[in-house]
Copies of this chain bind each other. A is one copy, B any other.
């Protein structure tokens, strides 16, 4: 399929993204937000800021390494703000930025819908 020329011209300079295009810059951002731990970290942070270990406990099953990796990605996209106090033992806070809250506002309905409908989703599979 050759790209639609109209869509092409609208999107070529990425004034707005078109995720369905392979080289759209939205792709990596989408992947960070929807990664295995990304969604969960965002959801947890949406309620309130967390310290690192606190967040690890909130997000069941995540390892130190994965959590810090995930947070680094989210931070580089501007969704999370990391605030470190230079003390020993270390004290670091993670909070959503305004941009992060906007993103979370789109993530939460999805997660909530799945949680609410998990019964209906799983039921046919059991049958």
Binding site for B on A (CB under 8 A): 1, 14-26, 29-31, 33-36, 39-40, 43-44, 54, 57-61, 76-78, 99, 102-103, 106-107, 109-111, 113-122, 124-125
Contact = CB atoms under 8 A, between A and B. Distances in A.
Contact of A124 (B78, B109, B119): B78
B106 A121 contact: no
Contacts of A107: 110
A54 to B, nearest CB: 6
Main secondary structure of the interface of A (DSSP, over half): helix
Output the residue of A17, A58, A124 with the most chain B CB within 10 A: A17
Identical chains in the assembly: 2
A98 to B, nearest CB: 10
